[in-house]
């Protein structure tokens, strides 16, 4: 995607003002469909640009934190200089106690000011001691040569971490693949969501390359490409990009891919695709806006919209958690929790949705627990 996810979302002052309203402990979010307030509990706070969420078999919750960039070398980002720092991390919540189990991971942010960070994004828990992380980049792969050598081996990669040794190994370099495959006009890579495919493989959405790729034994292949579209809201001949953000496996065995859409982030233009590897992707649901993450609870699909009015809305990114239906039902989704500040990731665990908020902030991110019944 040529333009960064959040660069046009709001001014610094607006983001700071809205972030200051994030609750510190617990409260309610509005359930628009039922017309009642839904109680929630904050289960993690003080997060640096929280992204996707994953649960281990023992109930531990992990949150990827994109970080806050830093004052190191800057690369050419989607909206200007994106500056480097070792501020990415992963937080674990175990028995109500919060702890960063991985720190000093590569991170980039707009001009190093901490806003709109890019770094750790998708994550999965494998067994008892391994975390797999997708690491964003948000730019041309050749720009990586400007950051430290160790960071070059993280940004744009899928990494496997041993939680005991903290040692990281690269499972695959998606940015290098995008540079070669170049499914869009110029090379760009930003790995985001990921999901297990079989025992040794992965599917990853590349929000820079606008495609879904597979990764197995270090080899990357294109599974699906998502083409730009025209709109009556744009000048004749103009298009906007189809930007995939997350991928989950459905109860039917197919994979579902969420869409943010590119600039100008048109409300109602986002879709969810149903993908069967080896077959052409099909639109499963439409009429959504700026979707960043999804999770199945049985046969029910829940999705996060980071900005219900689109990322260009002057009021800042206020989004929602929604239940999504296939288009054949006659309705795309119903809101479960609304008026959420910059929500991004969602995971379902024991009848509740866990949603990360404050994706555009450097220090004020939280995760809330919202009951689904």
| Contact predicate 182/189, CB 8 Å | no
Terminal CA-CA length for the chain: 37
136-160 average pLDDT score: 96
DSSP state, residue 25:
S
Sequence-distant (≥ 6) Cβ neighbours of residue 32 within 8 angstroms: 320, 334, 335, 338
Mean pLDDT, the chain, whole residue set: 88
φ/ψ (deg, to 5) at 91: -105, 140
Tens-place pLDDT, residues 2-42: 344 554 444 443 444 444 445 544 555 554 444 555 677 89
| CA 28 vs CA 162, 207, 215, 372: distances in Å | 37, 32, 40, 13
Q: What confidence score (pLDDT) does residue 363 get?
A: 79
| Contact predicate 154/166, CB 8 Å | no
Tens-place pLDDT, residues 33-82: 445 556 778 999 999 999 999 999 999 999 999 999 999 999 998 778 99
Q: Measure the CA–CA gap between 275 and 311, rounded to whole angstroms.
A: 26
Neighbours of 149 (CB within 10 A): 8
Residue with tokens 């993690």: 44
Q: Measure the CA–CA gap between 328 and 349, rounded to whole angstroms.
A: 28
């Amino acid at each position: 995607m040529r333009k960064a996810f959040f660069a046009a979302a709001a001014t610094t002052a607006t983001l700071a003002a809205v972030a200051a309203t994030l609750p510190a402990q617990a409260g309610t979010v509005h359930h628009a469909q039922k017309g009642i307030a839904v109680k929630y509990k904050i289960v993690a706070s003080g997060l640096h640009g929280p992204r996707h969420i994953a649960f281990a078999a023992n109930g531990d919750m992990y949150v990827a934190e994109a970080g806050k960039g830093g004052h190191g070398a800057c690369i050419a980002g989607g909206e200007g200089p994106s500056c480097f720092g070792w501020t990415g991390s992963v937080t674990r919540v175990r028995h109500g106690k919060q702890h960063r189990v991985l720190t000093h991971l590569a991170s980039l942010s707009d001009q190093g000011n901490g806003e709109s960070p890019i770094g750790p994004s998708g994550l999965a828990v494998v067994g008892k001691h391994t975390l797999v992380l997708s690491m964003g980049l948000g730019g041309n792969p050749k720009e990586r040569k400007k950051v430290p050598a160790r960071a070059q081996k993280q940004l744009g990669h899928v990494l496997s971490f041993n939680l005991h040794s903290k040692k990281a190994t690269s499972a695959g370099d998606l940015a290098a693949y995008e540079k070669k495959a170049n499914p869009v006009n110029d090379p760009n890579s930003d790995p985001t969501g990921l999901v297990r495919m079989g025992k040794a493989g992965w599917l990853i959405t590349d929000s820079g390359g606008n495609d879904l790729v597979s990764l197995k034994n270090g080899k990357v292949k294109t599974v699906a490409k998502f083409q730009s579209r025209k709109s009556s809201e744009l000048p004749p001949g103009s298009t906007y990009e189809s930007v995939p953000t997350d991928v989950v496996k459905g109860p039917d065995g197919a994979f579902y891919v969420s869409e943010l859409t590119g600039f100008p982030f048109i409300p109602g233009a986002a879709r969810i695709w149903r993908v069967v590897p080896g077959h052409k992707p099909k639109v499963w649901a439409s009429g959504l806006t700026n979707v960043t993450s999804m999770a199945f609870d049985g046969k029910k699909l829940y999705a996060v919209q980071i900005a219900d009015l689109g990322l260009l809305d002057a009021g800042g990114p206020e989004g929602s958690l929604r239940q999504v239906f296939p288009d054949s039902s006659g309705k795309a989704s119903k809101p479960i929790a609304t008026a959420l500040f910059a929500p991004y990731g969602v995971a379902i665990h024991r009848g509740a949705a866990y949603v990360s908020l404050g994706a555009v902030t450097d220090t004020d991110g939280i995760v809330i627990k919202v009951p689904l019944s």
